[in-house]
């Protein structure tokens, strides 16, 4: 039965998906192709749409695959199944974190561990950013101009002496994305 | 509080394009700067835990915040808020994809959005690096 298969596949992906969105998408790809649920081209299209639509990429991808394979119920089951392992594991992590934090917040080893993890996070996010600098995203100087504007606008509120209301508003990611969409329309549509 | 958490994550889920890492700056803005639910350092710890655990970083962070602020009801509120926009929007697109796929207007808008998404993520690297 297709619904049971969907639940099984996406619980498995949620359970084994370390490393966030793109790691999870490669897992989904393996399952979807080996089961013959769709072709490579269909899957690549779905990944593209998952990246340019709002929300977590893994949820977008799971919903889309679920819909293609099992209609609306398939999409709901797939997105619930991919969350389920997170729910169990992350709640356990939360309980452990609260306990450890109170006991060991001033502990050197704990501090060092959290610091190392923080450094790794920065490296991981940096890697994700670099990975996204692709020819399909950066097609010409206009793309780089948009990149530059948004990058600077995001970092302006970080400068201590510049904390005015306007600069705070400039650093709002939602407004920046909407402005970039308008810029794309004006720069590429005409 | 249930509605407040739900509404905050609904906003995050609706307005962040580009997945988990692109959601981080907005999550930070909402939960640290606007609502003061956690401080900047704890935010970095949360990302670390959300990444160390399997699953989606955005969903894991929603569980962390929800649990911290309002227990299991908070978890439900944050997860629903984070994933509902995705599910609804993707369902609509999946149903009508063929019609809008080659629309030059849609393509032009996304050409502008994509480099902006990369810039948001690149800026996140610097903001996080400041707090190591």
Residues 111-130 of A with CB under 8 A from B: 114-115, 117-122, 124-126, 128-129
Q: How confident is the model at residue B36 (pLDDT cuts 50, 70, 90)?
A: very high
Other C-beta atoms lying within 10 Å of the C-beta of residue B95: 11
pTM: 0.72
Of the residues B41, B57, B78, B90, the best mutation for testing chain A's interface (the one with the most A CB atoms within 10 Å of its CB) is B90
Q: Is the pLDDT of residue B79 over 90?
A: yes
CA distance B49 to A114: 9
Who contacts B6 (Cβ-Cβ below 8 Å, separation ≥6)? B77, B78, B80, B81
Q: What is the pLDDT of residue A163?
A: 61
Q: What is the pLDDT of residues B97-121, one digit of tens each?
A: 667 767 888 888 878 888 887 887 7
- Judged by CB atoms closer than 8 Å, whether chains meet at B50 and A56 is answered as no
Measured in whole angstroms, how far is the alpha carbon of residue A177 from the centre of its chain? 16
For the question of an ipTM over 0.90, the answer is no
Q: Got the DSSP string for B56-105?
A: -HHHHHHHHHHHHHHHHHHHHHHHHHHHHHHHHHHHHHHHHHHHHTT-HH
Contact A75 B94 (CB under 8 A): yes
Q: What is the pLDDT along chain A (190 residues), one digit of tens a residue?
A: 899 999 999 999 998 876 566 667 778 888 888 899 987 767 767 777 787 788 888 999 999 999 999 999 999 999 999 999 999 999 998 888 877 776 656 677 777 877 787 787 778 778 767 877 878 788 899 999 999 999 999 888 877 776 667 777 777 777 787 888 899 999 998 7
In angstroms, the CA A95 to CA A59 distance is 25
Predicted confidence at residue A65, as pLDDT, reads: 94
Q: Which residues of B52-70 are buried (b: 16+ CB within 10 A; e: fewer)?
A: bbbbbbbbbbbbbbbbbbb
What does the CA dihedral A50, A53, A59, A61 come to, rounded to 10 degrees? Answer: -20
Domain residue spans of chain B:
2-129
Q: What is the pLDDT of residue A100?
A: 74
DSSP tag of B34: I
Domain residue extents for chain A: 2-103, 134-190
pLDDT of residue B80: 95
Q: How much is the pLDDT for B45?
A: 84
- What per-residue confidence (pLDDT) applies to A7? 96
Residue with tokens 């929007």: B89
Contact B49 A64 (CB under 8 A): no
pLDDT at B118: 80
Question: pLDDT value at position A26?
Answer: 74
Q: What is the pLDDT of residue B107?
A: 82
Whether B129 and B47 have beta carbons less than 8 Å apart is answered as: no
């Amino acid at each position: 039965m297709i619904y049971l298969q969907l639940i099984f596949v996406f619980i498995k992906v949620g359970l084994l998906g370390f490393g966030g969105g793109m790691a999870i998408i490669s897992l989904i790809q393996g399952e979807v192709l080996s089961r013959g649920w769709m072709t490579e081209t269909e899957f690549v299209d779905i990944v593209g749409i998952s990246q340019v639509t709002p929300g977590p990429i893994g949820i977008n991808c799971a919903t889309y695959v679920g819909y293609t394979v099992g209609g609306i119920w398939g999409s709901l089951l797939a997105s619930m199944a991919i969350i389920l392992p997170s729910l169990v594991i992350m709640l356990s992590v939360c309980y452990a974190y609260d306990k450890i934090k109170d006991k060991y917040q001033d502990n050197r080893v704990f501090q060092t561990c959290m610091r190392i993890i923080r450094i790794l996070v920065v490296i991981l996010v940096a890697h994700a950013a670099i990975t996204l600098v692709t020819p399909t995203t950066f097609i010409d100087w206009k793309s780089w101009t948009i990149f530059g504007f948004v990058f600077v606008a995001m970092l302006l509120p970080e400068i201590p002496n510049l904390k005015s209301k306007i600069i705070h508003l400039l650093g709002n990611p939602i407004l920046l994305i909407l402005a970039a969409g308008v810029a794309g329309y004006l720069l590429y549509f005409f | 509080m249930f509605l407040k958490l739900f509404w905050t994550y609904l906003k995050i889920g609706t307005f962040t394009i580009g997945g988990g890492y692109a959601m981080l700056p907005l999550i930070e803005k909402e939960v640290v700067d606007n609502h003061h639910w956690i401080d900047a350092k704890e935010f970095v710890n949360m990302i670390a835990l959300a990444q160390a655990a399997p699953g989606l970083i955005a969903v894991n962070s929603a569980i962390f915040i929800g649990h911290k602020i309002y227990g299991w009801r908070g978890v439900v509120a944050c997860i629903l808020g984070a994933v509902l926009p995705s599910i609804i929007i993707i369902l609509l697109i999946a149903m009508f994809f063929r019609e809008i796929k080659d629309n030059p207007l849609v393509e032009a808008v996304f050409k502008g959005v994509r480099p902006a998404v990369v810039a948001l993520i690149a800026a996140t690297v610097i903001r996080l690096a400041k707090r190591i």
